Structure 1
Amino acid sequence: MTTLTTDPTTDPASSLTTGLPGLVAHFARTTPDALAVTDGETFLTYAELAVQARAFARVLRDRGVRPGAAVGVLLPHSVPLVVTQLAVWWAGGHYVPLDADYPAPRIATMLETAGAVLTVGDKDLVEAAGIPGDRTLPPPARAAEHAGDDVPAPAEDTYAPDAVAYVMFTSGSTGQPKGVAVTHQGIARLAHRPEYVTLTPRDRVLFHSPVTFDAAAFEVWAPLANGAAVAVSTADRLSPAGLARDAERLGATVTVLTTALFHHLAARRSPLFGVLRGVLVGGEALSAQHARSVLDAHPWLELVNGYGPTEATTFATAHRVTDADCDAPPPIGHPIAGTTAYVMDEHGQPVAPGVRGELWLGGPRLALGYVGQPDRTAESFVGHPTAGRLYRTGDVVSARPDGTLDFHGRTDDQIKVRGFRIEPGEIEHALRGHTGVADAAVVVQRPAPDDARLVAFVVREGGGDGAAAGAATLRAHLEGRLPAHLVPNAWAFVDALPMTGVGKVDRRALAGRAVEGGGEPDGGPEDGNPPAAADGLSPLQQVVADLWSQALGHPVDDPEADFIALGGHSLLALCVVEDLREDLGVEMSLADFFAAPTVAAQAAHVERALLHLHEDPGAPGDGPAASTASEDLR
């Protein structure tokens, strides 16, 4: 059988038995004074990190955490977050990262699915999530106040390779998120002495990705597995300009970026690339044009195009991109860190080099499966008669004669939007749960090469109070159930969904169907009245409207126009935020942007900021730095 694989005899993690907790303990003994974690204000050495984590592990054990127990973690990016995750491991459990921006029902489903016995979280976050107080625990203290305590180490630092390290949730086509059980050997082999990117004890890896995004696992554990430091970006929501400032402030040298964010930063010639030595990019197909522009401007930069599903522990293949790769779409490279890869036909047989087929992955870094979903696990993780246990990715690839893999798309309806893996079926299932919806289909449309938008095509239910349900009602329905990145950016209401000859929804036809702006405007069919006529724009409103028009790709001339209703999302909002800063010197956070989502409201915000700047020319505006696109991609 033709296989593309790393050589296990040279795999640096092949003899790793202590897992990541053991590696941290090793560095705490051998380089105790080396920096392990910092947010720019708090600095923990490896010795201090080990002491704090073991002290908190004792607290967790006192609260009933035992080997195999799941512990929810609901904390912002912070030093205590890193301490907590390590402490959960030393207590014998595995952690479940949670996002405070998720709706409370979603968080409850994640905790129930994972079987969490306890959730560590800030008081206001756990209360907002509706988690019972008797099942919560505050995080460890932020200061290194326990650094001098004599806390005994666990009996041993050896971890069963196939024990669960963490459960990461992804979108599920059945309407429920899928909890992927990643093992200790999976994350340890990925992180320890990576051959696919340069990482030395002198490096600092920027921890900025959402904790529920699997890149975050690399950002925390790769530095700690190699004696390097985690540079914690505590302001979770930064503008790309703020991201560069934060990287410089923290002395970061390596980072992971979603492909969409990388494209955005490249197009705007971000100074971030001038700060870093290494960048890993992943999540979607990499633009050759943007890769070349970054490498031309920063020839020293190590740019790695990574590929991998959560089920194979973040990165399964990788390729260091050079200028020579940029005459065509850059490849996703060769398998890394013990992964095996096979390009198969529909019968599970290998295809010849150059022939397209489905990518099946194997090796010791495969996840155990989906928590509580044995049928879904059996569908995706299959036993092959000669290759052993393999994961069917659903991705279409081809292999070059030297084994380098090229990516060509999907075999199913799953899509990637701004780095997030999205199962349209999950959104469609939630939409059909509304009384006003008879049927629905969700597709991705790309009005521009660097802009991907979710579009919902809805068939209304005839009769009843729900018959007039429009975009505003359905958006609110979804926002109460799904994360922001699963809420469509545009809406269209149709009499029936187009079908293929075999009776399936014709998603290709829907993807090519024109949708004006964000689809049906809020407030239109909801009340049976046509939208109000646009009022005249003030000069400042016209400036905002022009920036919106440039970002959205269509004219905006109504002061009451709503950015989200017109098809906007966080990455496009960042364009407006940055243009306001560059053109007018006004800082606006994304929180402020979405709290004042109309042209008129944003113009009023800009006016207040300009008055503040006039009164105090040295002020940076009246808002904090805005969000990274990778943190809150609506």
Structure 2
Amino acid sequence: MARSQARDKPPARPGDLYLDLHRHFGWQVPDHFNIAMACMRRWAEQLDTASRTAVIASAPGRSPRHHSYAALMDQANRLSNALAALGVQRGDRVGIVLPQRFETAVAYMAVLQMGAVGMPLSQLFGPDALEYRLHDSEAVVAICDQPSLSALLGVRERCPLLRAVIGVDGDGTPEGMRADLDWGDLLAQEPSEFDPVNTRADEAAVLIYTSGTTGNPKGALIPHRALIGNLSGFICSQNWFGFDPVDAAVPSKAVFWSPADWAWTGGLMDALLPTLYFGRPIVGHNGRFSPELAFDLMQLHGVTHSFLFPTALKAMMKAVPVVRPRYRLKLQALMSAGEAVGDAVFAWCRDQLGVTVNEMFGQTEINYIVGNCALLWPAKAGSMGKGYPGHRVAVLDGEGNECPVGVPGDVAVHRLDVHGDPDPVFFLGYWKNEGATRAKYTGDPSDSWCRTGDLATRDADGYLWYQGRADDVFKAAGYRIGPSEIENCLVKHEAVANAAVVPKPDAERGAVVKAYVVLAAGFAGSDALVKALQSHVKGMLAPYEYPKEIEFIDALPMTTTGKVQRRVLRLQEEERARLRSAIQKKAPRRKNDEGLRRNGA
């Protein structure tokens, strides 16, 4: 089995093992590696593990259903045969528009074991987003269930290479709105044996389109080996995922659940695939997230390990400030990413959930590269953590030099690890976009840094502190403002459920700090509350950081991966500024016109 491991076993002693792990860690990447073989077949083909639960399927109004690794392989083999009959070949892209459900895991395993490329597509995508990705990727088949079928069928004529649409749960669908092929009928007619393709480790496995905050979305092509590159981060962020940190042969029961959509890197590469890699069960809930649902699922299924976005944790903290009298949880580890957690949420996780949250940082292109592992080295509240074992991480300035302690710079990862060996976590490049791929790197192609576009500072202990996206950080009255610290401060106030900080254009100071605030239940916006929140921030941060203006809104604009879209709010402020300027320019003319009329002109 391909794996990442230490060159020598880490010493069995308590304390900060970070330096020891980095010094002894080395990658073991075979020439040939297939994600489906590692995540499904090696468990399903052994008598003692075939009956293990792979996926616990959950949905509102339905009893949970446990699906074994043997059942996963049976269904995946049938689907692989069906896709091959449809002409899907090695390297072809297959769109997967499915939520968290057993069939989603089946689809990925089927596509990957035949050497094709799985393309995750969110059910939240509208027709335009679906069309762009299906057309640009030249996908040949798409798999979806009922909620996405209408949008998919509506764009298929503009995707000429899309040969077939396979529909899950097609019973009762009106004529004219049905998929080309029904999942159940299709799999029933195919054999349950399939000979998997022996893919190379650096062969394409997944094509995930980035959010496209500037320009069109870019397709990041992820190789099979990237899963191996993820493992050190997954193990550390999940506090060894039920294994003894020194003797990895000693496992304990582990159950994973995360609300992260399996159509995104956070759900696919940080949850579904690594959980299956270790042969453990993952809860797949096909339903909307709510704080109460999160607690209910964790209690019902005895969830031991989880990945929860900061926005989810904030909502849970506000909904259930005191957890233990209401819920009996078995949490052993909790990872969070996407935004800074902040010390208020950090303390609530420790005191109420009974775990130290391990903050993590990564990108679709280079995932799981920085983070914490409270079991092996101290976690600092609000810190992104340190580079995970196997990854050579630095904070770089515009010239490619490492920034001194405390100076913000671009978080970057080197192609080679500390031993000079290739880091397997790297993506292959952007689909049909060599220019964007080249722009992602600094230095010689064989000896280069991959820049993330996320800003951070490094402290004297090597921990990174998130400052925001490069385009989120701004200057106000000459001061450099990182929104995360102010947002974290605001959320500590009992009246605030969530907050986003952006610059508001100002003629004299360039910009002033503005906060958009979502209020907690039971609170109403008022001038008095604005002053109270401003005083709250003034008392905790630097004087120039308090929001000069606060606007109360019902909900913040969010990406489908749970990140606050500050860019949307920033553009809104810029448009408002343009309108104010236009009105002011017209005002003197109107005054002059009125004066002329009074003088009889």
Partner of 1:109: 132
**What is the identity percentage for the equivalent residue pairs of Structure 1 and Structure 2?**
20
SS at match of 2:261: coil
1:161-182 CA deviation, whole Å, 9 max, x = no partner?
Answer: 2222222222224331222222
SS at match of 1:320: coil
Q: Contact 2:146/2:168 (CA < 8 Å) preserved in 1?
A: no
Distance 2:291 2:114 in 1: 37
Q: 1:329 to 1:155 in 2, by over 3 A?
A: closer
Amino acid at match of 1:341: V
Q: Contact 2:78/2:191 (CA < 8 Å) preserved in 1?
A: no
Q: 1:277 to 1:545 in 2, by over 3 A?
A: closer
SS at match of 1:221: helix
Task: Establish whether residue 68 from structure 1 lines up as the match of residue 91 from structure 2.
Answer: yes
Task: Establish whether residue 194 from structure 1 lines up as the match of residue 248 from structure 2.
Answer: no
Q: 2:352 aligns with which of 297, 309, 332?
A: 297
1:572-595 CA deviation, whole Å, 9 max, x = no partner?
Answer: 9xxxxxxxxxxxxxxxxxxxxxxx
Amino acid at match of 2:164: R
Partner of 2:490: 448
Partner of 2:448: 389
Distance 2:503 2:485 in 1: 9
Q: 1:90 aligns with which of 106, 109, 113?
A: 113
The alpha-carbon deviation at position 409 of structure 1 amounts to: 3.3
Partner of 2:57: 39
Partner of 2:276: 224
Pairs aligned (count): 463
Q: TM-score, normalised by structure 2?
A: 0.66
The alpha-carbon deviation at position 345 of structure 1 amounts to: 2.2
Amino acid at match of 2:53: L
Q: Contact 1:21/1:86 (CA < 8 Å) preserved in 2?
A: yes
The alpha-carbon deviation at position 321 of structure 1 amounts to: 4.7
The alpha-carbon deviation at position 185 of structure 1 amounts to: 1.0
Q: 1:379 aligns with which of 419, 422, 439?
A: 439
Map of 1:540-551 to 2, 5 A cutoff?
A: 549=525
Distance 1:359 1:153 in 2: 43
Map of 1:266-345 to 2, 5 A cutoff?
A: 266-267=317-318, 268-269=320-321, 271=323, 274-299=329-354, 301-313=355-367, 315-321=368-374, 329-336=381-388, 338-345=390-397
SS at match of 1:138: strand
Q: Contact 2:454/2:468 (CA < 8 Å) preserved in 1?
A: yes
SS at match of 1:187: helix
Q: 1:360 to 1:55 in 2, by over 3 A?
A: same
Q: 1:149 to 1:290 in 2, by over 3 A?
A: same
Partner of 2:573: none
Q: TM-score, normalised by structure 1?
A: 0.63
Partner of 1:568: 554
Q: Contact 2:303/2:329 (CA < 8 Å) preserved in 1?
A: no
Q: 2:194 aligns with which of 153, 166, 178?
A: 153
Map of 1:103-502 to 2, 5 A cutoff?
A: 103-129=126-152, 130-132=154-156, 134-139=163-168, 151-156=192-197, 158-191=198-231, 194-197=235-238, 198-200=240-242, 202-217=253-268, 218-234=270-286, 236-267=287-318, 268-269=320-321, 271=323, 274-299=329-354, 301-313=355-367, 315-321=368-374, 329-336=381-388, 338-362=390-414, 363-384=423-444, 388-413=447-472, 448-449=490-491, 451-453=498-500
1:446-474 CA deviation, whole Å, 9 max, x = no partner?
Answer: 593362348798xxxxxxxxxxxxxxxxx
The alpha-carbon deviation at position 275 of structure 1 amounts to: 4.0
Distance 1:359 1:500 in 2: 32
Q: Contact 2:254/2:281 (CA < 8 Å) preserved in 1?
A: yes
1:205-250 CA deviation, whole Å, 9 max, x = no partner?
Answer: 114212343210121111100010111112x213211121122223
Distance 1:181 1:108 in 2: 19
Q: 1:29 aligns with which of 14, 35, 45?
A: 45
SS at match of 1:224: helix
Map of 1:473-622 to 2, 5 A cutoff?
A: 509=511, 512-513=513-514, 549=525, 567-569=553-555
SS at match of 2:383: coil
Q: 1:570 to 1:60 in 2, by over 3 A?
A: farther
Distance 1:72 1:448 in 2: 41
Distance 1:448 1:124 in 2: 37
1:232-280 CA deviation, whole Å, 9 max, x = no partner?
Answer: 112x213211121122223322111111222232343264793422110
The alpha-carbon deviation at position 399 of structure 1 amounts to: 3.2
Q: Contact 1:343/1:351 (CA < 8 Å) preserved in 2?
A: yes
Q: Contact 2:78/2:194 (CA < 8 Å) preserved in 1?
A: no
Q: Contact 2:34/2:224 (CA < 8 Å) preserved in 1?
A: yes
Structure 1 gaps of 5+ residues are 416-442, 458-496, 519-543, 556-564, 573-627
The alpha-carbon deviation at position 44 of structure 1 amounts to: 1.6
SS at match of 1:132: helix
The alpha-carbon deviation at position 341 of structure 1 amounts to: 0.9
Q: Contact 1:369/1:381 (CA < 8 Å) preserved in 2?
A: no
Q: Contact 1:240/1:270 (CA < 8 Å) preserved in 2?
A: no
Distance 1:77 1:361 in 2: 31
1:323-348 CA deviation, whole Å, 9 max, x = no partner?
Answer: x978x743222222532212222211
Distance 1:453 1:261 in 2: 15
Distance 2:94 2:342 in 1: 39
Q: 1:147 to 1:381 in 2, by over 3 A?
A: farther
The alpha-carbon deviation at position 63 of structure 1 amounts to: 1.6
Q: Contact 1:6/1:340 (CA < 8 Å) preserved in 2?
A: no
Q: Please, which moves more after superposition, 160-169 or 65-74?
A: 160-169
SS at match of 1:194: helix
Q: Contact 1:445/1:455 (CA < 8 Å) preserved in 2?
A: no
SS at match of 1:112: helix
Distance 1:132 1:144 in 2: 22
